[in-house]
Amino acid sequence: MPNRIEIYDTTLRDGAQGPGVKFSPDDQLKVVSELDALGVQYIEGGQPASNPKAVDLFRRAKTLRLKHAKMVAFGSTRHPRTAVEDDDNMRALLEAETEYVTIFAKSSPLHAHEVLGVSLETNLKLIRESMAFLKKHDRRVIVDAEHFFDGYDIDPAYALKVLTCAWEHGAELLALCDTNGGHVPHQIEAITRLVCDHFPKTKIGIHTHNDSGCAAANSLVAVHAGARHVQGTINGYGERTGNANLCSVIPSLQLKMGYKVLSAAQLARLTQVSHLVAELANMTPRDHEPYVGRDAFTHKAGMHADAVIKVKTSYEHIDPTLVGNTTHVTVSEMAGRSSLLRKAAEFGIALDKDTPETKQILGKIKKLESEGYEFEGADASLELIMRKATGRYRAFFTTLSYHADVNQYRFDQPGVSEATVKIQMANGDIMHTVAEGHGPVDALNNAMRKALDPAYPELKEVHLEDYKVRIIDGKLATSAFTRVLIESSDKGGVKWNTVGVSENIITASYIALLDSIEYKLLKSRGHK
């Protein structure tokens, strides 16, 4: 099928080499399951000869009933000073017991001579013997031609000779690697087209890195030039600046270039997969990521928001639901009434364009944003403002006072944080509680819960997922205003975000905590 593109995911090997990326063994299995459900054809599980976690993953992955993907073990050609039968890497590849194996072969004279320390002919011998050994043991072999484009720049004939050697000895696919990530699209396209013409009956793949910011673009032009196999990682994770981002490459191939990559249902899982893998990798999802980022279809400026409400394609290049994302209109100091009305409708609040309350809400939001508030990432706080202004709000309690202390007796030992709150309940009862915590914000949260949980047991379900602090004007040093964003969730998996601003970080945190609790109570107990 000339219009079909294979996807080879290397998130668990190349992606895991990225700074800050960390998968537990259980996380790895979850990633495998998600990638299989997404519909990728190959999942590279790691290098078993050098990574014990990869050995464990291949063993555990056998228990999974994969519907679409094949697990792939990754390794090098045999060591120059070891016979292929005695090579630890070759044995580890066999012991992984995967149908497919990927080996990387030096295709640059520089790397053969200076890195591997062998002659060009010896390098070809390593490829021949490694291929023969793996084929003898019934493995289907993919060859990654490492540093291929750099090698082609140095010696085109030798780079092609490496590919010919691998193909003649049984490689099912030849992947051209821009390992240093230094090539730009017109170079990748020209060389890939030449290779595809040179090997008309061979499946050619592309493996790019993002060191020049072109990994995704280089993958696309390689396909345009004839490649039918694309390697990359979810969210572009990888060493240095990362690999080709499959969350950009896949929808661009399918929605922009007309290639068949995933089914419509699989493509609609892309945003979910992107965010889940970020969570499992212990990485924060990138809000500005194309297609799958939270802000990929977010409209802040009033003119843009008004236009996209009228005609979606005016400021959106695709229907976001195709990749599992959504249009998001924010309300801010730059927003107009159209944005406000759209946002209110999302919250189930009916507003008219020219009513006094609409003007009041817009004025309040603009005033708060001039003080340092931002509501793009704090929908729960924004909804509370709207409900209070329109009379669709009920107070479950009132804070009378609060106080937080940090007692640090020795700097080389953990300190003790203590907080007190005085809260008046809706029935007039006054609760005065004290609690300790890991820091003043945690202590305040614990004191509030101690006062409120008996009357509102659903608050026991609420967990603080994330806590972010931003100094609004660093020039003011210690007297600068602080913005605190808090993400909360409940046992049903619902998440909401709140914001607080003050020159006092404790006060800013308390405002955001207060909104979080009030929002949960409004949703669980109703509003006016």
- pLDDT tens profile 197-208: 999 999 999 999
Identify whether the C-beta of residue 30 lies closer than 8 Å to the C-beta of residue 2.
no
Q: What is the mean pLDDT of residues 299-318?
A: 67
Identify whether the C-beta of residue 157 lies closer than 8 Å to the C-beta of residue 109.
no
Do 302 and 272 share a domain, yes or no? no
Do 326 and 471 share a domain, yes or no? no
Amino acid at 375: F
In this prediction, residue 528 carries a pLDDT of 60
Do 309 and 216 share a domain, yes or no? no
- Is position 368 within any domain? no
Q: What are phi and psi of 305, to 5 degrees?
A: -60, -45
Number of domains, the chain: 3
Q: Which residues pair with 498 in a beta bridge?
A: 486
Which domain covers residue 192, as residue numbers? Answer: 6-280
**For residue 458, what is the DSSP state?**
G
- Is position 512 within any domain? yes
Do 408 and 342 share a domain, yes or no? no
At 303, the pLDDT band (50, 70, 90 cuts) reads low
In this prediction, residue 332 carries a pLDDT of 53
Please tell me the distance from the alpha carbon of residue 520 to that of residue 323, in angstroms, as a whole number: 29
In this prediction, residue 367 carries a pLDDT of 86
- Is position 376 within any domain? no
Do 252 and 331 share a domain, yes or no? no
- Is position 404 within any domain? yes
In this prediction, residue 343 carries a pLDDT of 77
As a whole number of angstroms, the longest Cα–Cα distance in the chain is: 88
Q: What is the mean pLDDT of residues 171-197?
A: 97
Task: Indicate whether 316 pLDDT > 60.
Answer: yes
400-420 pLDDT, tens per residue?
A: 999 998 876 556 666 788 999
Do 209 and 267 share a domain, yes or no? yes
Please tell me the distance from the alpha carbon of residue 441 to that of residue 418, in angstroms, as a whole number: 9
Please tell me the distance from the alpha carbon of residue 74 to that of residue 210, in angstroms, as a whole number: 21
Q: What is the mean pLDDT of residues 60-82?
A: 94
The larger pLDDT score, comparing residue 210 to residue 476, is at: 210
Instruction: Give the three-class secondary structure for 399.
Output: strand
In this prediction, residue 302 carries a pLDDT of 57
Residue 136 CB neighbour total at 10 angstroms: 11
In this prediction, residue 140 carries a pLDDT of 97
In this prediction, residue 477 carries a pLDDT of 47
Kindly list the distances between the CA atom of residue 505 and the CA atoms of 474, 475, 508, in Å, as whole numbers in the listed order.
Answer: 14, 17, 5
Q: What are phi and psi of 103, to 5 degrees?
A: -115, 145
CA angle at residue 37 from 31 to 41, to 5 degrees? 85
User: What percent helix, strand, coil does the chain show, rounded to 5?
Assistant: 45, 20, 35
Amino acid at 416: V
Do 241 and 168 share a domain, yes or no? yes
Looking at 225-355, list the stretches that DSSP marks H as alpha helix, in order from N- to C-terminal side: 246-251, 264-267, 270-280, 302-310, 337-346
At 57, the pLDDT band (50, 70, 90 cuts) reads very high
Q: Which of 294, 450, 282 is nearest to 378 (CA)?
A: 294
415 CA to centre of own chain: 35
Task: Indicate whether 485 pLDDT > 60.
Answer: yes
Residue 103 CB neighbour total at 10 angstroms: 26
Instruction: Give the three-class secondary structure for 243.
Output: strand
Among 2-11, 87-96, 311-320, 399-408, the range scoring the smallest mean pLDDT is 311-320
What is the SS3 assignment for 491-507?
CCCCEEEEEEEECCHHH
The larger pLDDT score, comparing residue 253 to residue 332, is at: 253
The larger pLDDT score, comparing residue 327 to residue 61, is at: 61
Q: What is the mean pLDDT of residues 131-158?
A: 97
Q: Which of 310, 346, 305, 307 is nearest to 329 (CA)?
A: 305
Q: Which of 514, 460, 519, 461 is nearest to 492 (CA)?
A: 461
Task: Indicate whether 333 pLDDT > 60.
Answer: no
Please tell me the distance from the alpha carbon of residue 456 to that of residue 396, in angstroms, as a whole number: 9
The larger pLDDT score, comparing residue 385 to residue 409, is at: 385
Please tell me the distance from the alpha carbon of residue 263 to that of residue 245, in angstroms, as a whole number: 19
Q: Is the pTM of this model over 0.75?
A: no
Give me the CATH number covering residue 508.
3.30.160.270
Identify whether the C-beta of residue 339 lies closer than 8 Å to the C-beta of residue 358.
no
Q: What would the two tokens of residue 373 be?
A: 């508030």
Kindly list the distances between the CA atom of residue 55 and the CA atoms of 52, 62, 91, 166, 356, in Å, as whole numbers in the listed order.
Answer: 5, 12, 12, 26, 66
Do 20 and 143 share a domain, yes or no? yes
Residue 468 CB neighbour total at 10 angstroms: 14
Identify whether the C-beta of residue 332 lies closer than 8 Å to the C-beta of residue 374.
yes
At 330, the pLDDT band (50, 70, 90 cuts) reads low
Strands 173-178 and 328-329: unpaired
Do 275 and 303 share a domain, yes or no? no
Do 270 and 306 share a domain, yes or no? no
At 186, the pLDDT band (50, 70, 90 cuts) reads very high
Do 273 and 310 share a domain, yes or no? no
Q: Which of 250, 280, 310 marks a domain boundary?
A: 280
Q: Which helix (H) or strand (E) holds 385?
A: helix 379-389
Q: Tell me how many helices (H) and strands (E) the chain has.
A: 18, 16
Among 74-83, 334-343, 478-487, the range scoring the smallest mean pLDDT is 334-343
Q: Which residues pair with 175 in a beta bridge?
A: 144, 205
In this prediction, residue 479 carries a pLDDT of 53
At 466, the pLDDT band (50, 70, 90 cuts) reads confident
- Is position 286 within any domain? no
Please tell me the distance from the alpha carbon of residue 524 to that of residue 226, in angstroms, as a whole number: 56
Percent of the chain with pLDDT over 90: 65
Q: What is the mean pLDDT of residues 172-186?
A: 97
The larger pLDDT score, comparing residue 170 to residue 313, is at: 170
Q: What would the two tokens of residue 20 be?
A: 């800050």
- Is position 33 within any domain? yes
In this prediction, residue 474 carries a pLDDT of 47
Task: Indicate whether 99 pLDDT > 60.
Answer: yes
Tokens 């040093």, located at residue: 477
Among 64-78, 323-337, 501-515, the range scoring the smallest mean pLDDT is 323-337
Strands 6-9 and 229-232: parallel
- Is position 384 within any domain? no
Q: Which of 344, 361, 378 marks a domain boundary?
A: 361
Task: Indicate whether 458 pLDDT > 90.
Answer: yes
Do 270 and 411 share a domain, yes or no? no
Q: What is the mean pLDDT of residues 252-279?
A: 94
Give me the CATH number covering residue 163.
3.20.20.70
Among 95-99, 143-147, 521-525, the range scoring the smallest mean pLDDT is 521-525
Q: What is the mean pLDDT of residues 265-280?
A: 92
Please tell me the distance from the alpha carbon of residue 521 to that of residue 55, in angstroms, as a whole number: 48
Q: Which of 336, 361, 386 marks a domain boundary?
A: 361
In this prediction, residue 411 carries a pLDDT of 60
Task: Indicate whether 121 pLDDT > 60.
Answer: yes
Strands 140-146 and 173-178: parallel
- Is position 1 within any domain? no
Q: Which of 249, 242, 192 is nearest to 213 (CA)?
A: 242
Task: Indicate whether 478 pLDDT > 60.
Answer: no
Among 122-136, 354-368, 383-397, the range scoring the smallest mean pLDDT is 354-368
> Half-sphere exposure of residue 77, counting CA atoms within 13 Å on the CB side?
28
